[in-house]
Each structure stands twice: as structure tokens, then as C-alpha cells.
Amino acid sequence: MNIFESLITKKFIMTGAIKIPSDLSNLFRVENLIEKLSEMLSLGDELYGNISVCIVEAVSNAIQHGNDNDVTKIVMLEYKVKNNSLIFSITDQGSGFDIDKVPDPTLPENIENYKGRGLFLIRNLADKVTFENKGAKLNIYFNL
């Protein structure tokens, strides 16, 4: 058990955030943050991969769909380590969306439709996903 695992088991709280201008070229900042968190928390390869796919996809959706690629708008990416969980919150400046209207990509009629695939991945790779502000804020939970 390393020092970070020891601190996490004692309900240690670590938080941070980055603001990302709504340009997909800024996704490297998200990838760098995930890599640093992975190193600090000694995440295994599978968990690191799941987190990377989910968070990059969520930020990408926030940039493209939430903020309509408007570089004057930002995406806020916050993280917190608490009670053996790593929690990410991704907030865009858009008006949100109706989660019930996102197509299920596993249905035969949606096989060739790309909409909904990112959300499907996020929901299946994360331990828990919640939505706030009509979907303009996404909280993604991973058990450590």
C-alpha cells in the first residue's frame, strides 16, 4: 500500500480543477491530468483506461454539443478523491439536453447512428454517472 492508498482509506480528500476553452485541441490537458492522477493514485491499467475513455469523451461532448465548439465558452473539469472514490464533474456552459432523448446505440435501428455512443461508453465504464443542470453537468464516479 503506497502513501496515497493509505490516505485514501482514511477518507483523505484531494480536489482540483482545470478550465478548458472549448476547442478539441485542448483535450491533451485532460489526458495529462488523468495521467498525473493515475500516477499519484497508482491506478491499474484497466481503471486508467476506463477513466481516460470516459473523461475525454465527456469533455469532448461538452465542447462539441454543450458549448457548440464556441472557444469563448469553457468546460470546467473538477475532480475529487474521497472515500475510496475518484469523482469527476464536467460542466459546460450550454443549456443541457434531455437524457431520455439520447438514442440507445445498441438498438438495431441505431447501429449506424453515432449519437449516444459516447454516453453509452461512459455509463458502461464508470461505476456511477449522474446528471445535473439538465445535463450541462455530468458527474462520473470510479471506485478505487
Per-residue DSSP letter, 67: S
118 contact partners, CB below 8 Å, separation of at least 6 = 57, 58, 60, 61
Q: What is the pLDDT of residues 75-93, one digit of tens each?
A: 999 999 998 999 999 999 9
pLDDT < 70: residue spans in the chain: 1-12, 105-107, 110-111
pLDDT at res. 9: 47
Q: How far apart are CA 41 and CA 35, in angstroms?
A: 10
Provide the phi-psi class of 47: left if phi over 0, else alpha when psi is between -120 and 50, else beta.
Answer: alpha
Give the length of the chain: 144
CB atoms within 10 A of CB 31: 13
Question: Domain boundaries in the chain?
Answer: 3-143
pLDDT at res. 1: 43
pLDDT at res. 130: 97
CATH H superfamily, domain 3-143:
Histidine kinase-like ATPase, C-terminal domain (3.30.565.10)
Of residues 103, 136, 140, 144, the one with CA closest to residue 22:
136
pLDDT at res. 11: 54
